[in-house]
Structure 1
């Protein structure tokens, strides 16, 4: 079965990896073609802000590649049209790729606001190419034209912006921002979501004390994850790291001199000098290819629970470009979970060796769960942790200002501990006897315990306040005591790696974080699990002499002598 994957980013490459590793009988018959718009091997896009901050080198964020005779990767080649009737994808070189199954993993593009002075005049005036009936842009001679507007092309996403202005979506964007920061003395970051905070803090550490970094946002800091009180404390924490935070005020225009950025005018009339402007105001799902193919598109490519598009069951969408029934979180964990599920579906389909007529996708038999109870299964991939030097902000589940209504059958309890003078704000939400949400600014070890309680679904104490005061009642064992963590506990949420998986990787010879990343993929997602992974490796290293002894002591005897004993999956 021929599978064409459009997109070689974090989700597209993961799908290919899962397909090649599938144990389904049909996996051996797969013929996979990957069209990757960027002229790079797959890399961890989540860590681009860390590249800007100088915490990672560009080469350090590469993802493990797949070397398999069933896979052909076309790097720097983007898809420009889909002919669903002929089951063919046309690429930017004029190549035609037939498919039995097509997967759109086109991701998202950086959103660029309509701000006077931000775009190059020539880019704003360039008309889009005409579309043929198949959706392919062509020039007057009938040759394949440039990629359609909005498609990820082998270029920086900052193309089209005036010199001095950048977005951060690709590895080339990161390189350009790093190069521009060398001589920057006035930096303005527009947008204070997670990425904006990470970029501002990273640049403040990179450009040095003589430079000024402003962070501008029309609402509260990280308003999607934090409520007003938490946002104020977070803004204070970021300010103490050398960032001038300006919230509840937006940008009105970009000031140019000789066509280059020299400042930003705010809507309160203030003008900020700027020789480096970074725009981090969100992303837009890349749906141009799907629209041209006549597929249903809302904010993203509309798919069913099986990730197939509504009009054509041979075409699927995963990752940031997809709009599943339960909505898109924008987090890589959701995309990787979709890749795992779709890989299984495609491998099973290849094994069935049954070709069904093209047409509307049949309705999924299981449908969408109709239970609106907010006590339902917790999406443990919804943990958001800000990365960066000195930043300690974590939010998960029920948090922020916009919260789902409480379930009438199970009352919700919310406990807050706000200590703004110490730059600390903690909140935990308990419902149905477990933690369903939490917000931690300056939470330290308490935040680690709350993440553990949230992701593991451990029973909450009768008094939820105990969850916020670590000395009174830590959650199911401290995050710093690996011996008390059950083997089934998930350590890397992005990749679903448990403590047991890490212990097995150690037993198989993995001794470093890099080794573990290669064998289990732990730490290759958002990077937030690196500290606990290192802690477990240190624990295993310390316990190695006891493990290699000819006769291991029994658990009670070892405990009496204070030795570390491995917990099993029943703990």
Structure 2
């Protein structure tokens, strides 16, 4: 039996273990998982929803798969001996392996505002948002906080800002880039986003570097910007990106750049018995930092191992769709979006911008397919474009039709899932179709929770939960294949 040690019990490490055992028909693998946190795996993507008060902590726990992996919670790997093929934990116990999978993830990047302090040594009132404990501490801090500064105007920063504003805290977002979400949006789209945030009571500073956190009596009281402006704050949230956790790999002599360098097979270059997946990995195509890529890597590695090296040829398009989960802020981007117009062969771009209405939509079409899109304040358009992008359906000859008809309101969404084809993807993060949900229902899953446990729908970004609930409700009312209620048998004398 092949002994697999997995370092990391987050969303990607746990998914890999689930996928490996689900595919291991011959029971050829045993797994030991070392998890630094003392919790069962939870959906890190939804931490901002906890901060906003939209979800309780218990609601983001991931469904538990039924397998016999040995999971050691609160166990930190400190050393890898590649010659002896062992991993040593903080208690000195050694864990032998035939294959080692590193899923150590990433930690919050802490700007140089406090000297050499890291995320675990911040003054009172300052918090990163990367773990469940971080989210709990931020929620507790909002009870007495009146003014908050969020450093970082990316996706997470905007989600946190909306959540804090919804709790009645006056929020200022400080971003060093030329405009908000500058990795995904162009200046025009970002201006619309800024307008929507302003309407929510969130102030914005862009092209503004935070020079120093002002700390008095061991507590944050404000931040000073590079230009000299001082912003008072009794809550400081750091959402300035992440840094791949590569220290363990580096000490083991593995190739490390921004992440642990791996090949197409996800094995490290120096040692084919050591693989890396998720945020800690740096594959040939580069890391996106999105959970869909990590889950795709987990699936691919599990398939390669159980198929004796044969690669699974499933499409990976759609792993770069980004949705901002901010109350009052609706932003979706995908593919080639927010890129300079001078890039080589970007495709045909069509855009519609309505700043006064808080809307901006742009679609990029190449070779008859949607290869990128940006949607701000246009939910129905975003849903249509995500479907077209992830499914690769042919685009109209006039790409403007992708924008004009839904925005004009001439196309109403279907009242029930009756007309939705079975191949329609409902949960993009996990590739779950309407047909998968119907099949799961007919095999006995009778609630959203049971469907989630069987298919993993709703366990990614959470954006599909309403759709899944709608399909389950529809099936409860209309499915002719529901088993009849069990009636008591009355025995006759």
Scaled by the length of structure 1, what TM-score is found? 0.80
Which residue, 306, 321, 324 being the options, matches 1:386?
324
Corresponding position: 1:279 with 2:238: yes
Alpha-carbon shift at residue 406 of structure 1 (Å) = 4.3
Q: Which residue of 1 aligns with 2:306?
A: 347
Relative to 1, partners in 2 of residues 1:474 and 1:431: Cα closer, same or farther, differing over 3 Å?
Answer: farther
- Correspondence 1:253-268 to 2 at 5 A: 253-268=212-227
Corresponding position: 1:401 with 2:339: yes
- The CA distance in 2 between the partners of 1:201 and 1:183, in whole Å, is 18
Alpha-carbon shift at residue 113 of structure 1 (Å) = 1.1
Corresponding position: 1:168 with 2:169: no
CA contact (8 A) 2:80 2:88 kept: yes
Alpha-carbon shift at residue 214 of structure 1 (Å) = 0.9
CA contact (8 A) 1:200 1:215 kept: yes
CA contact (8 A) 2:107 2:244 kept: yes
Q: Which residue of 2 aligns with 1:356?
A: none
Q: Give 5+ residue unaligned stretches, structure 1.
A: 125-156, 353-364, 367-376, 551-571
CA contact (8 A) 2:78 2:89 kept: yes
Root-mean-square deviation (CA), in Å?
2.4
Q: Which residue of 1 aligns with 2:81?
A: 83
- The CA distance in 2 between the partners of 1:451 and 1:484, in whole Å, is 18
Q: Give 5+ residue unaligned stretches, structure 2.
A: 485-493
Q: Which residue of 1 aligns with 2:47?
A: 48
Alpha-carbon shift at residue 493 of structure 1 (Å) = 1.6
Relative to 1, partners in 2 of residues 1:300 and 1:262: Cα closer, same or farther, differing over 3 Å?
Answer: same
- The CA distance in 2 between the partners of 1:294 and 1:477, in whole Å, is 57
CA contact (8 A) 2:405 2:411 kept: no
- The CA distance in 2 between the partners of 1:473 and 1:262, in whole Å, is 47
Relative to 1, partners in 2 of residues 1:3 and 1:471: Cα closer, same or farther, differing over 3 Å?
Answer: closer
Corresponding position: 1:215 with 2:213: no
Q: Which residue of 2 aligns with 1:16?
A: 17
Q: Which residue of 2 aligns with 1:523?
A: 458
- The CA distance in 2 between the partners of 1:3 and 1:476, in whole Å, is 51
Alpha-carbon shift at residue 403 of structure 1 (Å) = 7.3
Alpha-carbon shift at residue 460 of structure 1 (Å) = 0.8
Q: Which residue of 1 aligns with 2:5?
A: 4
Relative to 1, partners in 2 of residues 1:523 and 1:265: Cα closer, same or farther, differing over 3 Å?
Answer: same
- Correspondence 1:250-329 to 2 at 5 A: 250-329=209-288
Relative to 1, partners in 2 of residues 1:32 and 1:383: Cα closer, same or farther, differing over 3 Å?
Answer: same
- The CA distance in 2 between the partners of 1:479 and 1:252, in whole Å, is 51
Which residue, 319, 333, 354 being the options, matches 1:419?
354
Alpha-carbon shift at residue 402 of structure 1 (Å) = 5.1
Corresponding position: 1:73 with 2:66: no
Q: Which residue of 2 aligns with 1:457?
A: 392
Q: Which residue of 2 aligns with 1:104?
A: 102
CA contact (8 A) 2:3 2:30 kept: yes
Relative to 1, partners in 2 of residues 1:61 and 1:432: Cα closer, same or farther, differing over 3 Å?
Answer: same
Alpha-carbon shift at residue 477 of structure 1 (Å) = 9.3
CA contact (8 A) 1:261 1:276 kept: yes
CA contact (8 A) 2:222 2:231 kept: yes
CA contact (8 A) 2:189 2:376 kept: yes
1:20-59 deviation per Cα after TM superposition (whole angstroms, max 9, x unaligned): 211442xx13221100011111100000000111111111
CA contact (8 A) 1:295 1:309 kept: yes
Alpha-carbon shift at residue 472 of structure 1 (Å) = 8.8
Between structure 1 and structure 2, the one with the greater Rg is: 1
- The CA distance in 2 between the partners of 1:378 and 1:95, in whole Å, is 38
Alpha-carbon shift at residue 548 of structure 1 (Å) = 6.2
SS in 2 for 1:82: strand
Corresponding position: 1:445 with 2:380: yes
Aligned residue-pair number = 480
Alpha-carbon shift at residue 541 of structure 1 (Å) = 3.5
